[in-house]
Amino acid sequence: MFLSTSFAILVVFSFIVYRYFKYSSSIIERDATKPRRLPTQWLIGIIWTAGLGAFHESIAKLKVKYGDLFAIQLGRGRITVISCTDYVRHILADRNTYDISETTNQKGSSKDGDTLRQAFNDVIKCANRFALMASIPLWIARLRLALDSKFQRALCILRQYVMHIIHAEQKRQCEQQQQRVAKPKTLIASMVAAAENDRLETDSSKASLSPTELFDEVSLSMVAGFETTSTALSWFFFFMSKYPDVQAKIKEELYRHGLTSDAILTLEDLDELVYMECVMKEILRYAPITAGIVRQATRDDVINDIIVKKGDIFLIATQNMHRDPRYWKIDPMKFLPERFLDEDKHPTPYAYMPFGGGHRACIGQDLALFEFKIAITRLMQRITIEDAGNEANNSGGFIQRITCFPKHVAVRVYMDSDAKLPA
């Protein structure tokens, strides 16, 4: 009797809470001539955060049902999902109204190779859990990180290394300034110089970084390349095992430019590998590597006829646009690197954004593409990747964390010899 009564009370309470959130977040202006508040799919948010499928799969299904613009309620937070280039252009072009969301900033209280590597791994694992805590208030998620001893220990190690890099660069720039030597054009040098300008100058119109922002930016430039590049390489192995004709064309291009296994790569050689670059672009388009782009409204706005409130979070579903037939001339559901040679060489603006867009686009995208191209070129100079067939599970699938990587990859790797290259 007690259990049945408790269960009934729980059901009634859950229904009341559901109706409250549904009503409070779904008020629509009935006058069609006036802007309206986008209705919130509150229950969908609960289902989504339950971990049913990978992120891009869930968002693609919701897009089919609710269209290019829909809102979901995650706990007390509201996220608007966007899958249309017109809306994306509005958000990314207005840097004064839409900026990076605070839900993407993991603030903590802020030996050698192995120690740093382990610290990176621990930070990534904890960041994965943080990213999946979107259904609870942000302060609780941050409290969870603050009480996580492994994360705090890893963050401490990371802070030591990053601050050592920053202090060494500050010292070097100070010495160069005294000797009047030309400043090097490196990412870290530019960020440190910006922080120094903030400390020495009072002109608020100049771009500058606070010490906290400097630490965050240097750390992010290290951590971001740690996971995304390895994820892209994982997808490369999987796709090469499934598309041997693509792999054969890569090797043919390498042979045509004389890039055998013992050849030394130069920048000129890499620039000549046009088909290789198409393969890279297609992997970044077809594979759901990153979760999407997050922006937060810093003030009220109106998108088309939709009211935007200050603090609203927008999730730009890049994978939806990467596979939207409205924006691609060749079937976007097919893995075809050749699309970037002709018909889809110049995609619709904002339809292809593997590195984000706007003023918050990935600052390391050129470096990431450069190292990705070197890595797969060196691999294709020396090895052949084949599907393991029925002997192993090479079915792909998805594991969703900060990045989305293949779940089942089992391939055979053979070392090439010059005799096997095409005549």
Q: Which residues are annotated as a binding site?
A: 362
State the amino acid at position 359 in one-letter form.
H
CA–CA–CA angle 101, 102, 103 (5° rounding):
90
Q: How many CB atoms lie within 10 A of CB 24?
A: 11
Calculated CA dihedral for residues 351, 32, 17, 68, nearest 10 degrees: -10
Tell me the CA end-to-end span of the chain in Å, nearest whole number: 82
Residue identified by tokens 């720039």 is 173
Q: How many CB atoms lie within 10 A of CB 422?
A: 8
Coil vs helix vs strand at 108: coil
Query: What residue numbers does the annotated binding site for heme cover?
Result: 362
Residue 10 has which token pair? 């729980």
Q: What is the CA radius of gyration of the chain?
A: 25
Q: What is the largest CA-CA distance in the chain?
A: 85
Task: Residue 255: name the closest of 276, 235, 280, 278 by CA.
Answer: 276
Cβ proximity of 327 and 348 under 8 Å: yes
Residue 358 has which token pair? 């706007």
Distance CA(193)–CA(137), nearest Å, equals 36
CA–CA–CA angle 125, 373, 122 (5° rounding):
10
Residue 300 has which token pair? 């009220």
Distance CA(340)–CA(344), nearest Å, equals 5
